[in-house]
Amino acid sequence: KNQVEQSPQSLIILEGKNCTLQCNYTVSPFSNLRWYKQDTGRGPVSLTIMTFSENTKSNGRYTATLDADTKQSSLHITASQLSDSASYICVVSGLSGGYNKLIFGAGTRLAVHP
Amino acid sequence: NAGVTQTPKFQVLKTGQSMTLQCAQDMNHNSMYWYRQDPGMGLRLIYYSASEGTTDKGEVPNGYNVSRLNKREFSLRLESAAPSQTSVYFCATRHQETQYFGPGTRLLVL
């Protein structure tokens, strides 16, 4: 069964600290992996997208890694800010029936405290 | 350039009532999607439309219907609302490999 598991479910860190969020998936065949940021009461917004051949991609203070062999991805946030408080969703795209099917993780809820 | 807009933002229904959730986009994207988001679960696809004039079922289509009115608009209809349909509904478009989400409609069915 195609699944995307994220950990931890929730995380609290102090402003200025770094953190790493994890995503494990069993989606096969794999097409690409995306990370989205979802602020409370808003829709998700794309942070990064990585294909099979990419193992790291950065977007400002956000750096995503991908290990396609172990089917794991991480999102590292550097020097956290209060505005980083949000849910972070891992989404894996796999080919199913000839089209890309998106499997969404349940998300990690991050709270950055002053 | 508003992106993806959804109306209403919030709605309360009684069991058995019907309603239509509206979605519009000004990005000229061909593909549009309806998802629901429930606590502790990932977004689940209800219906999608690969292009104007076509619609297809997603993972959880039961109890819903959709209409792709034109390239800009994609509506979701609940004919007879049930408490299990209490959720936050998101409309999205897709361009290349990126999806663009609307702000969501929070629906409560009593």
Q: With beta carbons under 8 A apart, name residues in chain A contacting B51.
A: none
Let me know how long chain B is. 110
Maximum Cα–Cα distance across chain A:
48
On the question of pLDDT at A98 being above 80, the answer is no
The shortest C-alpha distance from B70 to chain A (Å) reads 23
State pLDDT tens for residues A38-79: 999 999 999 999 998 899 999 999 999 999 999 999 999 999
**DSSP letter, residue B73:** B
On the question of pLDDT at A97 being above 80, the answer is no
Q: With beta carbons under 8 A apart, name residues in chain A contacting B40.
A: 106
Q: What are the C-alpha distances in Å from A95 to residues A2, A98, B104?
A: 11, 6, 27
